[in-house]
């Protein structure tokens, strides 16, 4: 279950109290249209600029198909003119679905930031990516452009498959880790000579 609450911080309470007192005190004389608009804007800014969610469980769909499921212990969504993002505290768990509705990739991290307008996730701390074909990636930071199906990090990555181990930095690849590029590459492979 997802509970969405408007944060009621001390400064919000103070702003509301002052505005209520102002409106009540001035109600004997008429507010000008400009003053009334300022009061309305202040109330909207203080009440609708962010929301908090505990036990986040969010599903992103596209044309009726489940694409991504995101879970986290807490999130705060900001909807301001210069900041539109959701900050998710972990553990963060993300399931990425294929077109048939099966989980194709699982991503875990300590925290994440989601920018819906850009279809962009940024994952921080102990990032783990596991694909259904047993490819595994580890890093401390990962950027995921959902609309382009592209993940990247300038930081160190460690990738394992049943036969290979690869390390390096400046990584880019697809979310299912089929097509990857790594600069500063190092690795080892098992060669099957049957």
Residue 70 lies in a domain: yes
| Contacts of residue 103, Cβ cutoff 8 Å, sequence gap at least 6 | 95, 96, 97, 132
pLDDT at 142 over 50: yes
Same structural domain, 28 and 121:
no
| pTM exceeds 0.85 for this model | no
Element (H, E) at 39: helix 33-48
Answer yes or no: is 160 within a domain: yes
**Residue 134 domain-assigned (yes or no):** yes
Would 110 be classed as within a structural domain? yes
Structural domain ending residue among the three candidates 48, 65, 85: 48
Contacts 24+ apart (CB under 8 A), 85-92: 85/113, 85/114, 85/115, 85/116, 86/113, 86/114, 86/115, 86/116, 87/111, 87/112, 87/113, 88/56, 88/112, 88/113, 88/114, 90/125, 92/123
Asked if residue 120 and residue 36 are part of one domain, the reply reads: no
26 shares its domain with 81? no
**Residue numbers of the domain that contains 115:** 50-189
Tens digit of each residue's pLDDT (9 = 90 or more) over 172-192: 998 888 888 998 888 765 655
Dihedral in degrees, nearest 10, Cα atoms 20, 21, 27, 33: -60
How many folded domains does the chain comprise?
A: 2
| Mean of the per-residue pLDDT values of the chain | 81
**Residue 120 host element (H or E):** strand 120-131
Is residue 194 a part of any domain in this protein? no
Instruction: Tell me whether residue 64 is in a domain.
Output: yes
Where residue 35 falls among pLDDT bands split at 50, 70, 90? low
CA nearest neighbour of 176 among 125, 124, 129, 112: 129
Identify the weakest region by mean pLDDT among 41-45, 112-116, 183-187: 41-45
Same domain, 25 and 89: no
Co-location of 183 and 100 in the same domain:
yes
Contact 99, 69 (CB under 8 A): no
Q: How far is residue 90's CA from residue 56's CA, in Å, rounded to a whole number?
A: 10
pLDDT of residue 45: 53
Is the same domain home to 88 and 43? no
If one compares 60 and 110, the residue with the highest pLDDT of the two is 110
Query: 61 lies in a domain?
Result: yes
Q: For residue 184, what is the domain's CATH number?
A: 2.60.450.10
pLDDT of residue 51: 87
Say whether both 172 and 183 belong to one domain. Answer: yes
Same domain, 40 and 108: no
* Same structural domain, 65 and 115: yes
Same-domain check for residues 13 and 64: no
* Same-domain pairing of 80 and 174: yes
Query: In the chain, what percentage of residues exceed pLDDT 70?
Result: 73
**Residues 44 and 115 reside in one and the same domain:** no
Taking the C-alpha atoms of residue 16 and residue 28, their distance in angstroms, rounded to an integer, is 19
Rounded CA gap, 115 and 143, in Å? 11
């Amino acid at each position: 279950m997802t509970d969405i609450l408007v944060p009621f911080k001390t400064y919000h309470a103070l702003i509301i109290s002052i505005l209520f007192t102002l409106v009540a005190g001035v109600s004997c004389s008429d507010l000008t249209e400009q003053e009334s608009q300022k009061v309305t804007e202040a109330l909207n800014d203080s009440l609708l600029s962010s929301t908090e969610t505990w036990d986040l469980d969010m599903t992103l769909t596209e044309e009726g198909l489940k694409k991504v499921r995101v879970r986290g212990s807490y999130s705060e969504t900001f909807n301001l003119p210069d900041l539109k993002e959701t900050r998710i505290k972990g553990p963060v768990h993300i399931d990425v679905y294929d077109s048939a509705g099966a989980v194709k990739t699982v991503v875990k991290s300590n925290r994440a930031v989601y920018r819906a307008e850009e279809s962009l996730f940024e994952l921080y701390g102990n990032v783990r990516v596991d694909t259904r074909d047993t490819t595994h990636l580890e890093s401390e930071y990962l950027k995921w452009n959902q609309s382009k199906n592209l993940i990247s990090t300038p930081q160190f990555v460690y990738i394992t498959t049943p036969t290979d181990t690869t390390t390096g930095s400046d990584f880019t690849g697809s979310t299912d880790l089929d097509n990857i590029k790594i600069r500063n590459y190092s690795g080892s492979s098992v060669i099957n000579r049957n």
